[in-house]
Structure 1
Amino acid sequence: MSSSGLIRFLTTAQIMRLYETNVKRANPTQLPLLESAVVSPQHHKHYGQDDVFQLAGVLAQKIILNHAYQDGNKRAALVAADMFLKINGYQLQEKPFGRDSVNEELKRAHIAVATSQWTAEDLAEYYSSIAKPLGRATAEVERYLSQSEQL
């Protein structure tokens, strides 16, 4: 995170693009529920939450539980949280949905949120434990960064 305390946030359009690119080509069946999920971490930031992992956990939890898509909400939450962290200097996974232990654990963590075994705070703690500083931003991350909202 920058020393100025500013955090970048994804837009609804960006999350829809992540879903189409990484999950499947479909629009949300409940767009207002996706929009609600998108603004939730911004509201938490407005009320004093400055931890990017907590904000990523809130974003992912809301996407999972709001169920804006017919299918793939946990996957949408993962790519959204990962990109949110990337535009704020961290990454969760090297290759989205790769067949490795990190991705398997991320999958289990998101299932735990979907089944109400974990809270957004639990998910944030897990994200914090596995996240690595983002070295060099890829062209994709740069595009998301340039179009993100800053608060």
Structure 2
Amino acid sequence: MSTPKRIVRFLTTAQVTRFYETNIMQASPSQLPMLESAVASPQNHYRYGQNDIFQLAGTLAERIILNHPYQDGNKRTALLAADMFLKINGLQLQEKSVEKDDANEVLKQAQVAVADIQWSAENLAECYRAVARPLAEATAETDQY
């Protein structure tokens, strides 16, 4: 007997663009097709059988970082997108993205490792798995997604 596939919620390109404009700077992606490709990547992996939520988050972040859709802030955008993706699916990486704590430092270094081609989406997924905590309750932020 097979287990039913979990329902996974995905982000849209417009939502990731809004994260960028709200949290990083008021600018549109310089490479919109690259952002669209990055956002579609975890959905494609899911359709082909990948149902590990951390692997999907790692794929999303890796593609945003490596596709480089913005002039600046791609690693920060990737982390915001991965965190929100996990939040809308019941988990969280960061309570507050601006706090200087061990978890945020680990996440920052992980994003840099991907940008430096030292880590893959799989490594990022394991990092996210180690840091993530269940989201206690939906917030106003997650409700809008």
Q: Please give the residue correspondences for 1:30-49 in structure 2 after superposition, counting only pairs within 5 Å.
A: 30-49=31-50
Q: For this pair of structures, how many residues does the alignment match?
A: 142
Q: Secondary structure of the residue that 2:103 maps to in structure 1?
A: helix
Q: Secondary structure of the residue that 1:75 maps to in structure 2?
A: helix
Aligned counterparts of 1:94 and 1:85: Cα–Cα separation in 2: 12
Alignment TM-score, normalising by the size of structure 2: 0.95
Q: CA offsets, 1:40-83, max 9 Å, x none?
A: 00000000000110000000000000000000000000000000
Identity over the aligned pairs, expressed in percent? Answer: 64
Q: Counterpart of 1:31 in structure 2: which amino acid?
A: L
Q: Counterpart of 2:138 in structure 1: which amino acid?
A: A
Aligned counterparts of 1:7 and 1:54: Cα–Cα separation in 2: 12
The residue number in structure 2 matching 1:128 is 129
Q: Counterpart of 1:54 in structure 2: which amino acid?
A: Q
For structure 2, list consecutive stretches of 5 or more residues without a partner in the other structure: none
Aligned counterparts of 1:75 and 1:135: Cα–Cα separation in 2: 24
The residue number in structure 2 matching 1:28 is 29
Q: CA offsets, 1:104-144, max 9 Å, x none?
A: 11110000000011000000011001100001111110111
1:97 CA drift (Å): 2.9
Aligned counterparts of 2:98 and 2:85: Cα–Cα separation in 1: 16
Aligned counterparts of 1:22 and 1:97: Cα–Cα separation in 2: 11
What CA RMSD, in Å, does the superposition of the two structures yield over aligned residues? 1.0
For structure 1, list consecutive stretches of 5 or more residues without a partner in the other structure: 145-151
Alignment TM-score, normalising by the size of structure 1: 0.92
CA contact (8 A) 2:5 2:51 kept: no
Aligned counterparts of 1:128 and 1:105: Cα–Cα separation in 2: 12
Aligned counterparts of 1:98 and 1:24: Cα–Cα separation in 2: 19
Aligned counterparts of 1:23 and 1:96: Cα–Cα separation in 2: 12
Q: CA offsets, 1:18-41, max 9 Å, x none?
A: 111111111100000000000000
Runs of 4 or more consecutive aligned structure 1 residues displaced over 4 Å after TM superposition: none
Q: Counterpart of 1:51 in structure 2: which amino acid?
A: D
